A and B are shown apart, each in its own frame.
Chain A
Amino acid sequence: MLRYANPKKFLDLSGALLPWLWLAAIGLMGWGLYAALFATPLDYQQGDSVRIMYIHVPSAWMASFIYGVMFIASVVGLVWKHPLADTAAKEAAPIGACFTAACLITGALWGKPTWGTYWIWDARLTSVLVLFFLYLGYMGVWAAIEDRAKAAKAAAILCVVGVINIPIIRFSVEWWDTLHQGPSVVRFENGKLAPSIDPSMLWPLVSMGVGCTVLFVALLFVRMRTDIARRRIRTLLALKAAA
């Protein structure tokens, strides 16, 4: 990995990979969406609204996955002080926030026909909402601190603290859910990724999940390349000011 940690090498490698990543993302998500919207059977209880699942579940997966990526990048940045790791963490956050928002919005839209309300304070939805706040706080720290090296460290500390907290938050919210949740609410969520899911639904879902992951990597590379270019411009301007 560390061989590619030099910006020049990263630019070369990511430049070579990007077209393939785009192609793979479009292919996987295109087939997944086609299968999800037209080829898969209706749910006998939920009708067409079950098709939201093909966006909702991959988004939920991406929301936690990207925070995990940020965590690893933050630790690498803190321990080995590698600027490329800081860049990766910084540029992953807005993508993660978008997936989290997509997860929340699709969850609400799915909730209306199934639960009869846009929002229920169920443990999973609440955890994802808190995760969304973690993303916003992280991006806020990056935006608020001008000195890049300081911003990187501060944001990395926040990210690590967030990861330490996620299990506690998760646990507390689940405990809270059992305390407050009436037994009348039907919980479809638990059945979502059960092994009993029909293969005709499973494969489009897997395709969407892998497609979203590839899409994330492609977006991350583009954002990181932009960030590297932005920093080069700033260095040039600083040199110009000093000359």
Chain B
Amino acid sequence: MKGFLALVGRDLRLSFRIGGGPFLGLGFFLTVTAMLPLGVGAKLNLLGEAAAGFLWVSAALASLLSLDRLFQADAEDGSLDQLALGTLPLEFAVFAKALAHWLTTGLPLTVAAPVLALMLNMPEGGYTALFVSLLVGSPVFSFAGAIGAALTAGLRRGGLLLSLVVLPLFVPVIVFGAGAVSAAINGFESWAAFEFLGAVSLFAMVLGPLAGAAALRIHLS
């Protein structure tokens, strides 16, 4: 447990010291949100209708932005070898790193999303649903994303391949996440969507570290 927390702490610290921590992802989130009205025009009802789905897609892209460095830096400087030789199995290292990634991308995006939704004129009924759906669902971007990051770690131009690899993994969570919000806005029963979202999220937290560690072992050998 001590090693696990130390690794989460190390990655949080590194994220604040190099990548600007949560601010890089937030900046990206804000920028694309500002671009949407510029692209489709300032039609308030159109924006409001698209807001939930758009924010979910933007959150996915903002998470993707920093995902390719998740294991790359450790693979380059030899830290990955050390992570593989710790007292905890490599699966825990992947879990810890994905958790730190979520804390610096998914979580801040979740907090910022309702404010950006306001800017996009999202109808009133959806704000709680947007916040809760992102809180429950956005870990998938980090944990399922870790599989893609592990597969492409050590590749020179892994970024593009990474987005191709993780896109199908993101589909269910975007569907259920944005679906939950629009169901809430339209006054439908949205509980089922949250249940699916939670299930997909928990599943990603199990599958991500397992498959991610398996993929990292390939690169180590």
Contacts and interface: CB of A to CB of B under 8 A. Distances in A.
Given A140-B161, A144-B161, A157 B182 contact: no
A235 interface: no
B218 A133 contact: no
The B contact surface, by secondary structure, is helix
A172 B196 contact: yes
Contact of A133 (B164, B182, B214): B164
A120 interface: no
B164 A153 contact: no
A181 interface: no
A137 B165 contact: yes
B176 interface: yes
A144 B211 contact: no
Interface of B: 147, 151-152, 155, 157-158, 161, 164-165, 167-169, 171-172, 175-176, 179, 182-183, 193, 196, 200, 203, 207, 211, 214-215, 218-219, 221
A133 to B, nearest CB: 5
Given A144-B161, A150-B218, A150-B221, A158 B172 contact: no
Contacts of A161: 147, 169, 207, 211
B171 A173 contact: yes
A157 B164 contact: no
Interface stretch (A11-19, A28-36, A162-170, A200-208): A162-170
B171 A137 contact: no
Contacts of A179: 179, 182-183
A144 B158 contact: yes
A168 B197 CA distance: 11
Contacts, number: 77
A165 B169 contact: yes
Contact of A130 (B168, B200, B207): B168
A175 B155 contact: no
Contacts of B179: 175-176, 179
B196 to A, nearest CB: 7
Interface of A: 130, 133-134, 136-137, 140-141, 144-145, 150, 153-154, 157-158, 160-162, 164-165, 168-169, 171-173, 175-176, 179
Nearest to B192: A175
Give the 10 A-B CB pairs with smallest separation, nearest first.
Answer: A172-B172, A137-B165, A172-B175, A176-B175, A137-B164, A140-B161, A153-B218, A168-B172, A130-B168, A150-B218
Contacts of A173: 171, 175
A141 B168 contact: no
B171 A141 contact: no
A173 to B, nearest CB: 6
